[in-house]
């Protein structure tokens, strides 16, 4: 950790002011990503991981609002930038890959049109050079015969191929940061493995920092350098991928890892985390996980649990599983 991280999110709070009340979708999230590094942002549905991604891009629409916190990207605080400046960063220095490749490409425009569009929106290099850049980008993500794919329409490509195109578009302007919002969820496992491999390669090669949002721990274990586990709008545990997966400190991470089906559990009932994620409209005063936690204590319900450093990780828990991790 010599140079400053590419992205540093500090105590970010994104709230939605609905008629039913304030939804604290993201409520004090902090993490950082370095150049060439992949951060896995893990959590259940509704834990605020996607909203965190959109907050970084500045694409939170009313009634949502970034209430407080800083998003430092290469020395600029994205949370305070105007729309004009944000737009020049989007798709250029920061880009995004979405979950469903069937939906994210425009069905009536050819692949080359969509790719050239992205280049020309940020650089004035002429159509021909942009087209050449598009061809290179397709080749880079391992698409065979890129010339033929360029003139294809999205419906002529398979799901995996489309996601590769989406990734190529995300990387076309050589961004410093890519936010991937569950990009492999809609794909077959074999395709998923290929895409993961290519994403990892691209990051290493180009020095692009990546935030990989997912609920799939198996994916993250194979891919990420570091992991931040989110629960109810907060990061409950963050550390290197190997450590967090081998020895989770937070009971929630522990439960999450326990619910992953494995081969040797055949026939036995899977462990579950009892209960449901709390309503973001009405979060408890203390630890949001207290109601479902097997190690819950009196103090958990009384006040907010601050983030503390244990064994080189940050953990939001007053009764972390330190003994198990050390043993």
Binding mask 84-103 for other proteins (x = CB under 8 A): ---xxxxxx--xx-x-x--x
Binding mask 39-58 for other proteins (x = CB under 8 A): ------------------x-
User: If you ran DSSP here, which 8-state letter would residue 88 be given?
Assistant: H
Residues 115-134 that bind other proteins (CB under 8 A): 117-118, 121-122
Please give the Cα distance from 143 to 162 (Å, whole number).
10
Query: Least distance from C-beta 316 to other proteins, angstroms?
Result: 30
Nearer Cβ to other proteins, position 89 or 187? 89
Q: Which residues of 233-255 are buried (b: 16+ CB within 10 A; e: fewer)?
A: bbbbbbbebebbbebbbbbbbbb
Query: Least distance from C-beta 108 to other proteins, angstroms?
Result: 4
From the list 80, 106, 265, 272, which residue makes contact with other proteins (rule: CB under 8 A)? 106
Please give the Cα distance from 109 to 151 (Å, whole number).
10
Please give the Cα distance from 306 to 304 (Å, whole number).
6
Does residue 196 bind other proteins (CB under 8 A)?
no
List CB contacts of 256: < 8 A, sequence separation 6 or more: 42, 217, 229, 248, 273
Query: Least distance from C-beta 121 to other proteins, angstroms?
Result: 5
Query: Least distance from C-beta 231 to other proteins, angstroms?
Result: 26
Q: What angle do helix axes 111-120 and 127-140 make, rounded to 10 degrees?
A: 110
Nearer Cβ to other proteins, position 181 or 237? 181
In this chain, which stretch among 150-158, 266-274, 279-287, 315-323 interacts with other proteins, using CB under 8 A? 150-158
List CB contacts of 281: < 8 A, sequence separation 6 or more: 20, 21, 22, 23
Query: Least distance from C-beta 127 to other proteins, angstroms?
Result: 14
Nearer Cβ to other proteins, position 96 or 217? 96
Cα dihedral 209, 214, 219, 222 in deg (nearest 10): 30
| Total residues interacting with other proteins, rule: CB under 8 A | 28
Does residue 72 bind other proteins (CB under 8 A)?
no
Cα dihedral 138, 227, 17, 96 in deg (nearest 10): -10
Residues in contact with other proteins by the rule CB under 8 A: 57, 59, 87-92, 95-96, 98, 100, 103-109, 117-118, 121-122, 153, 155-156, 166, 169
């Amino acid at each position: 950790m010599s140079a400053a991280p590419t992205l540093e999110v500090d105590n970010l709070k994104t709230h939605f002011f609905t008629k039913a009340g304030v939804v604290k979708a993201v409520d004090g999230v902090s993490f950082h990503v370095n150049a060439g590094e992949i951060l896995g942002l893990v959590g259940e549905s509704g834990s605020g991981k996607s909203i965190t991604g959109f907050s970084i891009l500045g694409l939170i629409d009313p009634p949502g609002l970034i209430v407080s916190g800083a998003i430092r990207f290469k020395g600029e605080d994205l949370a305070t930038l105007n729309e004009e400046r944000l737009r020049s960063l989007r798709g250029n220095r920061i880009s995004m890959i979405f979950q469903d490749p069937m939906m994210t490409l425009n069905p009536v425009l050819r692949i080359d049109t969509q790719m050239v569009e992205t280049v020309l929106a940020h650089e004035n290099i002429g159509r021909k050079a942009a087209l050449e850049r598009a061809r290179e980008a397709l080749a880079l993500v391992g698409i065979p015969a890129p010339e033929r794919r360029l003139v294809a329409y999205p419906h002529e490509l398979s799901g995996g191929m489309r996601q590769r195109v989406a990734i190529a578009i995300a990387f076309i302007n050589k961004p410093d940061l890519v936010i991937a919002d569950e990009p492999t969820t809609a794909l077959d496992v074999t395709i998923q493995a290929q895409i993961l491999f290519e994403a990892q390669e691209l990051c290493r090669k180009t020095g692009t920092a990546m935030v990989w949002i997912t609920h799939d721990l198996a994916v993250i274990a194979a891919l990420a350098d570091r992991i931040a586990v989110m629960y109810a709008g907060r990061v409950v545990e963050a550390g290197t991928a190997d450590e967090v997966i081998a020895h989770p400190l937070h009971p929630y991470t522990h439960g999450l890892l326990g619910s992953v089906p494995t081969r040797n559990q055949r026939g036995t009932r899977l462990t579950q985390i009892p209960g449901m994620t709390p309503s973001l409209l009405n979060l408890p005063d203390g630890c949001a996980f207290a109601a479902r936690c097997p190690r819950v204590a009196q103090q958990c319900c009384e006040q907010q649990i601050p983030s503390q450093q244990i064994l080189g990780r940050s953990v939001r828990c007053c009764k972390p599983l330190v003994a198990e991790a050390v043993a």
